[in-house]
Amino acid sequence: MDFELSDEHIALRDSARDFIAERWSPDRMRQALDTPPAALDGDIWQEMAALGWIGICASEDRGGSGGDVVTAIVLAEEAGRGLLPGPLVSAIAAGRALDRCGNSELRVELLPALFAGDSRATVAFDEPGGNPGLDPVQTVAKQAGDGWHLTGTKICVPDVEGAGTVLVPAAAPEGPLLFAVPAGTLTVTPMRRLDAQSIGEVVMDGAVLPSGALCGGGDLVRETFDFLALLTAADLLGGASAALDTAVAYAKERVQFDRPIGSFQAVAHPLADAYVACEIGRSLLYAAALAVEESRPEAPAYVSAAKAWAGETAVSACETALSVHGGIGFTWELDIHLYLRRARAGAVSFGDADFHRDRVAALVPGLDGYSVERQEEGKAR
């Protein structure tokens, strides 16, 4: 079986890599750490919209590019590799959710401006207490006449500043529902993220919504969560691969004892292990993308396996890259710490590794007795 990317995917990968390298640099990300949050210029956002990136996974008859899930994964991976800050990933996820929602009026109202780059949308899942906002959802939706009242708090909402619409999952008697909430009806407080990306806390104190704000039910909520987790995993692996490339190049040119340090096993072996871990993660990532694209029942388990592996692998790979650089690996001028910051932040977004491993255990027959505690017991043995 051929697991290679298609010619179209390779062309997108190469063009996206070139575009990001030309329009965004690690130096700008470094500057953003002093003056957060990191933000894209409006002209860059318009260019990405013109390239069809925002609607990359939406149907063509609604203004999207008609790409598959693998196409979106390729794009997210390049965003991570190039340290591109939001709101690309969150906007892609919001656009796909709106494209797949059953509310045709909402699609007509929001999608054209979103895909044209004239407005922005994001998705709010994470909740206080480490809850990723999926099974259970703590935010509550109650019917009130012809509309809805939403009460609850979402945290670490990506790119909420500047967004016109926030997609919010909430619990209702009939199950979880997804709502398109105008940002002006919410109380938004900026938060700080380790890598200076834009996030915020969103408080809904009985926000009043019309009935037309309802996007869909539990299936759409779970699909959107899985897609966003998958994009985050791709971003993590893209950043990890870039950090390893930097470390390998340094190991070839840095000489100690009259030899490049990459010739020493103490340097070469950790780099090789990190590379293998990234390739395993990439296999999981694309298997999950294909399962999501085909709406297979095992797709959520694949997604959680990919996110858990990518989160831990990205952090470990970036730490390895930093250690290869020795003492200078910690310095502000090098780019390695930028990738490590992004990896640590992404690893805990939309469910950390423990959450996703437990989710796999709950979804895969025969693993229902598995738990994080049992993992720790195994490590102790």
Residue 45 lies inside a defined structural domain of this protein: yes
pLDDT confidence tier of residue 4, bands split at 50, 70 and 90: confident
pLDDT at position 9 over 60: yes
Region 364-368 average pLDDT: 77
Residue 32 lies inside a defined structural domain of this protein: yes
Residue 2 lies inside a defined structural domain of this protein: no
Angle between helices 372-380 and 353-363 (to 10 degrees): 110
Region 310-328 average pLDDT: 97
Q: Are strands 165-172 and 214-216 parallel, antiparallel or unpaired?
A: unpaired
Same domain? 275 vs 335? yes
Same domain? 68 vs 182? no
Question: Domain containing 260 — which CATH number?
Answer: 1.20.140.10
What range defines the domain where residue 86 resides? 7-120
pLDDT for res 13: 97
150 bridge partner residues? 141, 207
Region 265-293 average pLDDT: 97
Same domain? 101 vs 135? no
Same domain? 237 vs 154? no
Region 106-121 average pLDDT: 96
Same domain? 277 vs 366? yes
Q: How many domains does the chain have?
A: 3
Q: From the centroid of its chain, how far is CA 266?
A: 33
Angle at 234 between CA 82 and CA 342, to 5 degrees: 55
The 10s digit of each residue's pLDDT in 197-256 is 999 999 998 889 999 999 999 999 999 999 999 999 999 999 999 999 999 999 999 999
Same domain? 350 vs 260? yes
Question: Domain containing 36 — which CATH number?
Answer: 1.10.540.10
Dist. CA 242–CA 343, nearest whole Å = 12
The 10s digit of each residue's pLDDT in 158-179 is 999 999 999 999 999 999 999 9
Q: The tokens 């797709």 sit on which residue?
A: 299
Q: How many Cα atoms sit within 13 Å of 140 on the Cβ side? A: 7
Same domain? 115 vs 163? no
pLDDT at position 314 over 50: yes
pLDDT for res 338: 97
Q: What is the DSSP letter of 154?
A: E
Q: Where are the alpha helices (DSSP H) in the chain?
A: 7-23, 26-34, 42-50, 69-81, 88-100, 104-116, 218-253, 265-293, 299-324, 336-347, 353-363, 372-380
Question: Domain containing 193 — which CATH number?
Answer: 2.40.110.10
Domain boundary (80, 100, 120) is at 120
Residue 240 lies inside a defined structural domain of this protein: yes
Same domain? 361 vs 249? yes
pLDDT at position 195 over 60: yes
Residue 1 lies inside a defined structural domain of this protein: no
The 10s digit of each residue's pLDDT in 85-94 is 989 999 999 9
Domain boundary (217, 232, 249) is at 217
Residue 283 lies inside a defined structural domain of this protein: yes
Residues of the chain with pLDDT > 90, as a percent, come to 91
Same domain? 346 vs 298? yes
Residue 233 lies inside a defined structural domain of this protein: yes
pLDDT at position 311 over 80: yes
What average pLDDT does the chain have? 94
Residue 248 lies inside a defined structural domain of this protein: yes
Same domain? 240 vs 371? yes
Same domain? 32 vs 116? yes
Region 70-81 average pLDDT: 98
Same domain? 213 vs 278? no
Domain boundary (120, 152, 172) is at 120
